[in-house]
Amino acid sequence: MNKRLVIVGCSLGVGAFIALGAYTFTSITQQSKAMSELTASIQSLANNQGLSGAELDESVQRSLMAMQDREAAEIRESMFSRYAQASNDWDGDNWLYGSPEARFTLVEYADTECGYCKRFHSTPKGIVEASNGNVNWEYQHLTVMGERSIKQAQAAECVGDQLGNQSFWVYLSEIYERTGSNGQGAGDLRALAQEVGADLTDFDSCVSSGTHIEDIQASTTLARSMGISGTPATVLVDNVTGETQILGGAQPTEAFVQAMRQMMQRDS
């Protein structure tokens, strides 16, 4: 997906991110118990049906794989349920969270290795979800933290290209959740892509080809041309009047609410 780079005076639209919740994973104790129960059940079935050792092993493997598939599907469903407002029906040229008809857009410039960005990540998501369709969020890469940031930005773009708008947001939020920030990275990007449902052959091809490098670099260049050098930075855009305001840093919700109220008052 090619990014839209729009400048209206000092404005543009691009995109944003995610607030993440915690996963509930089965504890090791629960997993061991479940495994023991499954094995005992299969052993009982094998005894009743007179299965050979090889047949029993095959049956166990099939059952374990089916259980792992169910667990993976449940985890994926949990990931995606938190980003219901990132619709895959959206076919614009940017990543959008919220209603396309919203009056205000929060255009976030951020770096996945920026600790302040990680802390800020839930703020725009919360604003969108509380706005009753009046605010949406776009995310733009501003990779100021080095090569790992670029690789993670590229991986998110490749997942979005393959699976759509919602998957981009889910993948991006998982990077923020998992990274140690400041260059520590989010771990295995391929494994994470597989977790959200990506085909790894296509993912690897996209990443290795460098398909999105120019777009990521263009986004960074555009941000700097507007005087934005640090992350996070958010361009608040009034889509009715075209007025824009840059809010630098990990601003609280109240700062955005106040800025939007002032824009509406000037328009009245």
Q: Domain with 259 in it: what CATH number?
A: 3.40.30.10
Q: Which of 48-52, 114-118, 222-226, 227-231 shows the lowest mean pLDDT across its residues? A: 48-52
Q: Are residues 130 and 242 in the same domain?
A: yes
pLDDT band of residue 34 (cuts 50, 70, 90) is low
Q: Which of 52, 81, 110 is the last residue of a domain?
A: 81
In percent, the amount of the chain with pLDDT more than 70 equals: 72
Give how many domains the chain has, as a whole number. Answer: 2
- Is 45 found in the same domain as 139? no
Establish if 142 belongs to a structural domain. Answer: yes
**Cα–Cα dist 14/242, whole Å:** 14
Same domain, 68 and 106: no
Residue 171 near residue 95 (C-beta atoms within 8 A): no
The per-residue pLDDT for range 149-158, each reduced to its tens digit, is: 999 999 999 9
Domain assignment present for residue 242? The answer is: yes
Domain of 66? 28-81
Do 140 and 226 lie in one domain? The reply is yes
Instruction: Decide: residue 82, CB within 10 A, 0-12 exposed, 13-18 middle, 19+ buried.
Output: middle
- The number of residues in the chain equals 268
One domain for residues 109 and 182:
yes
What pLDDT digit, counting tens, does each position of 184-231 carry?
999 999 999 999 999 999 999 999 999 999 999 999 999 999 999 899
pTM over 0.85: no
| Whether residue 68 is found in the same domain as residue 176 | no
Segment (H or E) for 80: helix 53-81
Distance CA 109, CA 94 (A): 13
